[in-house]
Amino acid sequence: MEASVADRATGRRTGSERAKRVLLEMVALVTIGSLAGLLWRCANPIETTAASTAVACTAPAEPSPSRVTISPIEATGLAADPGVVFVDARTRVEFVAGHLAGAINVPPSDREAFGHALPALRAARIIVSYCAAAAECSCADDLAGQLTAAGMRDVRILEGGIQAWLEAGYAAEAGGCSL
């Protein structure tokens, strides 16, 4: 006990006091980090533009005659190829809920997302566009048209969209993209 009193008098801490101090500092850091994360999320909500919710995938009035489709089985064969990029044409909320592994999100009416994605898309050898619809989807078709108009040479549309992909038992992931 005398050593403990002497340690306190000189400002030295015992092992248990140091452990308590470290624990309190860790709790403080976690709390500050959590608060910072909450503040950031409030300032940057998932859905940042009205355009990303304005488009609903529906059947196109007339499918594009030059449109090239790819089946889920053909697409899964391309999934591991680093020269292939999958582009999800659904809203940001739908994308975050679940998408093809490694896909990027570019809703057709979101010009900002389109601009951010262009460098990665220009580097791709093959681009596969998809949406949610099991039948024809105007979102994937519109995006494929925009990509072709922007100079992309090999743009394909996933037949049946993400629904056909999932029904075939292929993998998907949730969360945002890393562009």
Confidence of residue 47 (pLDDT cuts 50, 70, 90): very low
Residue 126 has pLDDT above 90, yes or no: yes
Please tell me whether residue 69 adopts helix, strand or coil conformation.
Answer: strand
Give the dihedral sign, CA 112/113/116/118: negative
The pLDDT of residue 95 is 92
Q: Which residue has the tokens 């394909």?
A: 156
The pLDDT of residue 51 is 37
Enclosing H/E stretch for 144: helix 138-149
Q: Mean pLDDT, to the nearest integer, of 70-92? A: 93
The pLDDT of residue 55 is 44
Class of domain 51-173: alpha beta
Enclosing H/E stretch for 124: none
pTM, full prediction: 0.63
**How far is the C-alpha of 122 from the C-alpha of 104, rounded, in Å?**
13
The pLDDT of residue 21 is 83
What b/e sequence results for 138-168 when a residue is b if at least 16 CB atoms lie within 10 Å of its CB, and e otherwise?
A: bbbbbbbbbbbeeebeebbbbbbbbbbbeee
If one compares 17 and 79, the residue with the highest pLDDT of the two is: 79
Burial (CB count <10 Å: 0-12, 13-18, 19+), residue 2? exposed
